[in-house]
């Protein structure tokens, strides 16, 4: 089974692309969704994060305060590495478990949506890298509209990620997401048909 690593900067449209692949019947394993599951109240990973960063990291209802955490880790590389050290090995293990489940089926390929694929050195998990590429001004525009984050915070996140040039250099396949949804779907359909071929 061909394993496609889907990545791109914040606001590039990775989730939309993953959803397009899913609508075509491709299995999608989403690192962000796994991260949310692992950090739900009562999970051992959340307890580890609280013991490392303190109770301030929790909202009143016991949920992880992602906005507070984001502010901390994207402005402090050492803190970001501490968080990654807790989260990433667990996410990786769960992704491998889900890959094994899919490999037991007849799926010709699956999508591994990993925003920090390059930054966390997880390219060994995939056979091909698919980058969703978007001009930086569009990234700002989309993240502002989606999350309401100030530009300074968006900039901190962008600069903590691999550069656009680094992602493009690592890519086997590229989707440029700077137009409408229909064009994006067409790009995904073309790649879907390509990935279905025995040669990948």
Q: Where are the domains of the chain?
A: 2-33+92-196
Q: How confident is the model at residue 91 (pLDDT cuts 50, 70, 90)?
A: very high
Does pLDDT of 138 surpass 60?
yes
Does pLDDT of 72 surpass 90?
no
Distance CA 47, CA 161 (A): 26
Q: How confident is the model at residue 11 (pLDDT cuts 50, 70, 90)?
A: very high
Does pLDDT of 160 surpass 90?
no
Burial of residue 176 (CB within 10 Å: 0-12, 13-18, 19+) is middle
- Report for 115-119, 145-149, 185-189: range of highest mean pLDDT: 185-189
CATH (residue range 2-33+92-196) = 3.40.50.300
Closest CA to 9 of 137, 112, 95: 137
Distance CA 136, CA 155 (A): 10
Q: How do strand 109-113 and strand 2-7 relate by DSSP bridges?
A: parallel
Share of the chain above pLDDT 90, in %: 78
Q: Stretch 129-143: mean pLDDT, rounded?
A: 95
Does pLDDT of 120 surpass 70?
yes
Q: How do strand 28-30 and strand 128-133 relate by DSSP bridges?
A: unpaired
Does pLDDT of 198 surpass 80?
no
Q: Write down the pLDDT at residue 199.
A: 55
Q: Stretch 76-87: mean pLDDT, rounded?
A: 90
């Amino acid at each position: 089974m061909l394993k496609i690593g889907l990545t791109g900067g914040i606001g590039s449209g990775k989730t939309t692309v993953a959803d397009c692949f899913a609508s075509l019947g491709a299995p999608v394993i989403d690192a962000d969704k796994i991260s949310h599951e692992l950090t739900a109240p009562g999970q051992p990973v959340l307890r580890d994060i609280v013991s490392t960063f303190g109770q301030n990291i929790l909202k009143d209802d016991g949920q992880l305060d992602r906005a507070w955490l984001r502010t901390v880790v994207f402005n402090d590389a050492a803190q970001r590495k501490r968080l990654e050290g807790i989260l990433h090995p667990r996410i990786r293990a769960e992704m491998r478990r889900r890959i094994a489940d899919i490999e037991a089926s007849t799926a010709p390929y699956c999508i591994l949506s990993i925003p920090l694929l390059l930054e966390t050195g997880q390219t060994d998990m995939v056979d091909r890298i698919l980058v969703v590429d978007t001009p930086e001004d569009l990234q700002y525009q989309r993240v502002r509209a989606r999350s309401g984050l100030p530009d300074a915070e968006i900039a901190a996140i962008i600069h903590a990620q691999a550069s656009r040039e680094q992602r493009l250099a690592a890519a086997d396949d590229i989707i440029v997401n700077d137009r409408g949804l229909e064009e994006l779907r067409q790009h995904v359909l073309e790649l879907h048909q390509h990935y279905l071929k025995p040669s990948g």
